[in-house]
Amino acid sequence: MHDCGAAIQQGCNALCKCLEDFPEDFMNNNSIPLFETTEHIFTSVNTIYQLVFDLVRRWQEHTRVVVSKCAHTASVAASYQPELTESSTFQTRRPLYLKAP
């Protein structure tokens, strides 16, 4: 199973580091035409973050629903189990023998 959260966080960190370390590359029309001005940089990054956060939100919602369903199933299963009381547990370790008819 993939750790989506870690992968997304790693991608966001890499993007932020790239913007911090090489802002001129993002503002250079020849290297990346999409980023023409500082405003465009932040608009584009904001769009990326919105997409990422939307993905994370949907992933968390899905996870919450799955966990909720599992918890519900477990509680239902537990409700069908007989109650264990002191009298129903074995107090000794003596072997049980079947009586002959």
pLDDT of residue 60: 75
CA-nearest of 18, 10, 21 to 44 is 18
pLDDT of residue 41: 59
Q: Is the pTM of this model over 0.75?
A: no
**Distance of alpha carbon 45 from alpha carbon 38, whole angstroms:** 11
DSSP string, 65-98: HHHHHHHHHHHHHHHTSPPP-GGGS--S-PPP-P
Q: What is the pLDDT of residue 1?
A: 47
What mean pLDDT is reported for the chain?
61
Residue 19 CA to residue 23 CA, distance in Å, equals 5
Say which DSSP state 37 is in: S
For residue 80, pLDDT over 60 is answered with no
